[in-house]
Amino acid sequence: MLTKFKKKVQEKLAAEAKLAHELGLTPNMVSIIGIFLAFSSAIIYTQGRNPFYLLLATVVLLLSGFCDALDGVLARLYKQTTKFGGFFDSVLDRYADASVYAGIIIGRLCDPFWGSLALAGSLLVSYTRARAEAAGLKMESVGITERAERILILAAASLIAIFRFQALNIGIIILAVLTNLTVLQRSFYVYKKLKN
């Protein structure tokens, strides 16, 4: 859904990519920084309802998302794209997603059922894309909740939760519904394409 907007954002990250390149950072190094930030955000979420920790977890989560965008820009600008790099980035993204949801569940910031459903849906959104692309189908922008949308929904819910605690649980419920709806959308899309 935000794929076109994401591409525009990536175009604007050329200056940051240049700085990262001058500092000697490779795309894989930026991906590793991103996963470290995601794990840090997850650990902060485990601290529970404290408004300061919710704000800090959100900021660190957004920085992780920034790294996720930056590594691709850096790879393309400086011709460092590799098949392994794409694979490595994708695997780290799944660990990032899983750790953040786990941190929220462990911190009792959401109902465990909805948290688990959101986690499963999030992982399956990526899995359905990988399987479809292995079958030769282009899947970018298919579905309403890709990774960028998930991070933004989670960040918004976390910020609102500083003032109204239940907002994060509501955000997780929304993610549980939307991610699994995206899985259904992608499955139906693949079925139609392969049937034809």
Question: Which two tokens mark 194?
Answer: 């392969």
CA distances for 86 relative to 24, 71, 195, angstroms: 19, 10, 29
Tell me: pLDDT of 8 over 80.
no
The pLDDT tens digits for 76-126 are 888 888 889 889 999 999 999 999 999 999 999 999 999 999 999 999 999
User: Model pTM greater than 0.95?
Assistant: no
Please, what is the average pLDDT of the chain?
Answer: 91
Sign of the Cα pseudo-torsion (118, 152, 35, 44, in order): negative
Tell me: pLDDT of 10 over 80.
no
89 tagged catalytic = no
Please state which of the ranges 90-99, 132-141, 167-176 shows the lowest mean pLDDT: 132-141
| Domains in the chain, number | 1
Structural domain harbouring 67:
3-195
Alpha helices in the chain (DSSP H): 3-12, 14-22, 27-45, 51-77, 83-106, 112-134, 147-161, 166-195
What does the pLDDT read at residue 1? 55
What does the pLDDT read at residue 2? 53
What does the pLDDT read at residue 7? 63
The pLDDT tens digits for 144-162 are 898 889 999 999 999 999 9
Tell me: pLDDT of 9 over 70.
no
Mean pLDDT throughout 47-56?
A: 94
What does the alpha-carbon distance between residue 119 and residue 127 come to, in Å, rounded to a whole number?
Answer: 12
Question: Which two tokens mark 173?
Answer: 């419920």
Give the CATH number for residue 103. 1.20.120.1760
CB within 8 Å of 123: residues ≥ 6 apart: 94, 97, 98
Q: Which of 68, 71, 89, 93 is catalytic?
A: 93
